[in-house]
Chains A and B, each alone.
Chain A
Amino acid sequence: MPAPIRLRELIRTIRTARTQAEEREMIQKECAAIRSSFREEDNTYRCRNVAKLLYMHMLGYPAHFGQLECLKLIASQKFTDKRIGYLGAMLLLDERQDVHLLMTNCIKNDLNHSTQYVQGLALCTLGCMGSSEMCRDLAGEVEKLLKTSNSYLRKKAALCAVHVIRKVPELMEMFLPATKNLLSEKNHGVLHTSVVLLTEMCERSPDMLLHFRKLVPQLVRILKNLIMSGYSPEHDVSGISDPFLQVRILRLLRILGRSDDDSSEAMNDILAQVATNTETSKNVGNAILYETVLTIMDIKSESGLRVLAINILGRFLLNNDKNIRYVALTSLLKTVQTDHNAVQRHRSTIVDCLKDLDVSIKRRAMELSFALVNGNNIRGMMKELLYFLDSCDPEFKADCASGVFLAAEKYAPSKRWHIDTIMRVLTTAGSYVRDDSVPNLIQLITNSVEMHAYTVQRLYKALLDDISQQPLVQVSSWCIGEYGDLLYLDSVRRRSPSR
């Protein structure tokens, strides 16, 4: 039996296939070869065969017959075998297959292996796909590794612990002692994953949250060091020291400061510092600023800080980078209820975003615009929104029309204005108006007794222009049926509609 072909050879062969059928034929042929190789219990080429299987799996071909082989690789002594075996297990197996439990013993042994990279593989696999039973069995090993001085293993153990806690929440207590000095670590990888672990624990348990509130000063100190440390080539990303860690810490501070005055006060200064000192010319700076804004808005910050945060969002709206504009609009949408007045100050910029070419930005701007409509700005806002309704993509028209009706109902300055607005929607986006709007409109018209003549005449004229839009036709027909006699009233016809 010739040696199984190499992975690269297989890839090269498959790439020469000109049709899907040709590719399928090649794959089937190779699968047959791999199957017989597996049957022969060939140890030397097992890793090569599993690697090929994983490639074929990525292309969408069935690879389940390789599951047991992955387990054999994991049990091998060679690092090469373990590496591809564990990868195969993560890609092909999950807890739904009983066979995955067979891994438990191997993982247990590998967690105690003399080589840190083998331990790393075991932690990675357990942290990705460990079932509740596996997690229960192996939590003790993970906890041990969480206390090791080896930073490579410690950071992996932290994330593995997160997975264990997600699978078996009762085990959270067990990891508490190990968290004691996690934040005194110098290694940023460990710091980063430790903050993730602490975040997970705080989010899951109010008791843990209370317990970890005392970490706020330490977190503030770490953050301060990152900002003030000056250039550190090791952690520098575009001139900022470890932005990923900064963002993580800001997020944890958010959770700790929420609904707690003392913690919020303790972080006020650092938040103001980050908000004013962060370099905004690159995306990394903006990611930090964005996280800072979210934290400020979520904790019990003083009003000056909140205004600073909203102004940062306002500046984001003017940024050339579309991603920044998008996240700004998303955040403003979240804060518009609580800090309505502050957001109102940026209304004109938000309305300008309605004209953006990017669909995601347009949608956010539309939602935010509707949230900002009030009795004072209704006329101006409605002008912009009706213009938007005219020119926007069909996917927006239904939502926009509904939004206009709602806003008009709440804040219409006069009945005539209200009717005119409805007319405008029916004539420009009539076919996108939702079905339930029709009875609502009819109700509205019925109640505006003094406007009956005006309404029916305008509707009649609109029908003469365009009879193709169903909701318009429905409303108009009903009106004409009810108030048709008013069509002959001269006095109304001569009066021109007010704006």
Chain B
Amino acid sequence: MIKAILIFNNHGKPRLIRFYEYFAEDLQQQIIRETFHLVSKRDDNVCNFLEGGSLIGGSDYKLIYRHYATLYFVFCVDSSESELGILDLIQVFVETLDKCFENVCELDLIFHMDKVHFILQEVVMGGMVLETNMNEIVGQVELQNRMEKSEGGFSAAPARAVSAVKNMNLPEMPRNINIGDINIKVPSLSPF
């Protein structure tokens, strides 16, 4: 059983929080902080499994996580789940997000927290894996979104908001920064 799914960024800011077991609200926030603390101090080349922090149940639970550029996807599971299987599941979830948002990035998760929840709902239900076929998930989410659209939705058309944010005038990042005799090569930014 999956006890919780947490997505937060490299600074610990929550982007999606879903608990499948009851935790009081302040405890939820403590768990997020504790999980971030445990996961962020891991090197990039160690294994993706950790024992659960004491707040979430300690050694009876495992934290299985994947780090994609600026985001951590952490699934807290008990011993009935296959560790390698959950790693694959995280991959499926992320690829599904990618399909739904067209090259998903952190901003998409920030501004569409509700949509991400709806997508997750088609993958995991009640702490158990519901569907792993990406096309099925995307198709079902699409149809439900269309139903919402036909009723008028509850905020400005999502597509417009996202493109507005994506077209924001972020400062141009030059490939090379030349300051006097210092020459810094800027690494290319990944889509995340």
Contact = CB atoms under 8 A, between A and B. Distances in A.
B75 to A, nearest CB: 14
B47 A117 contact: no
Interface string B38-49: 000001011111
A274 interface: no
A15 B111 CA distance: 11
B4 interface: no
B167 interface: no
A128 interface: yes
Contact of B133 (A123, A127, A188, A327): A188
A193 interface: yes
A59 B14 contact: yes
B63 to A, nearest CB: 11
Contacts of A244: 85, 88-89, 129, 132
B147 A189 contact: no
Contacts of B128: 159, 162, 193, 196
Contact of B85 (A7, A79, A247): A247
Contacts of B129: 192, 196, 244
B98 interface: no
Interface in B142-184: 143-144, 147-148, 151-156, 161, 165
Contacts of B147: 79-80, 115, 117
Contacts of B153: 80
B132 A242 contact: yes
Contacts of A99: none
Given A159-B125, A159-B126, A189-B131, A360 B50 contact: yes
Interface in A229-255: 234-235, 237, 242-245, 247, 251
Interface residues of B, number: 56
B146 to A, nearest CB: 10
Contact of A87 (B49, B50, B118, B130): B118
B34 interface: no
B22 A96 contact: yes
B85 A156 contact: no
A235 B110 CA distance: 31
A83 B25 contact: no
| Residue from A117, A128, A155, A361 having most chain B Cβ neighbours under 10 A | A128
Given A48-B155, A247-B82, A358 B133 contact: no
Contacts, number: 166
Interface string A352-395: 00000111110000000000000000000000000000000000
Contacts of A128: 20, 125-127
A484 B168 CA distance: 82
Interface in B11-31: 14, 16-18, 20, 22, 25-26, 28-29
Nearest to A48: B154
Contact of B82 (A60, A196, A291, A325): A291
B9 interface: no
A interface: dominant SS: helix
Interface in A144-201: 152, 155-156, 159-160, 162-163, 188-189, 192-193, 196
A11 to B, nearest CB: 6
A357 B155 CA distance: 50
A323 B147 CA distance: 42
Contacts of A159: 125-126, 128, 130
A227 interface: no
B138 to A, nearest CB: 13
A6 B112 CA distance: 12
Contacts of B125: 123-124, 127-128, 156, 159-160
A: contact size bracket: 35 or more
A91 B154 CA distance: 19
A244 B46 CA distance: 24
Nearest to B117: A87
Contact of B47 (A45, A60, A156, A323): A323
Interface string B68-88: 000000000000001111011
Contact of A54 (B45, B114, B154): B114
A283 B88 contact: yes
Given A62-B25, A189-B130, A322-B46, A79 B148 contact: yes
A283 B130 contact: no
B136 interface: yes
Interface string B98-138: 00000000000011011001100100011111111101100
Contacts of A80: 147-148, 151-154
B140 interface: yes
Contact of A58 (B92, B113, B121): B113
A287 interface: yes
A60 B29 CA distance: 6
10 shortest interchain CB distances as A-B pairs? A287-B84, A322-B47, A6-B155, A127-B126, A358-B46, A47-B154, A244-B132, A326-B47, A60-B29, A94-B22
Interface of A: 6-8, 11-12, 15, 45, 47-48, 51, 54-55, 57-60, 62, 78-80, 83-84, 87, 91, 94-96, 115, 117, 123-124, 127-128, 152, 155-156, 159-160, 162-163, 188-189, 192-193, 196, 234-235, 237, 242-245, 247, 251, 283-284, 286-287, 290-291, 322-327, 357-361
Given A160-B125, A322-B47, A360-B50, 4 more contacts: A6-B156, A124-B126, A287-B84, A359-B46
Interface of B: 14, 16-18, 20, 22, 25-26, 28-29, 43, 45-50, 82-85, 87-89, 92, 110-111, 113-114, 117-118, 121, 125-133, 135-136, 140, 143-144, 147-148, 151-156, 161, 165
18 contacts: A6-B155, A58-B16, A60-B14, A80-B148, A87-B117, A87-B121, A91-B18, A124-B126, A155-B130, A162-B126, A237-B92, A244-B89, A283-B88, A290-B84, A323-B48, A324-B84, A357-B46, A360-B50
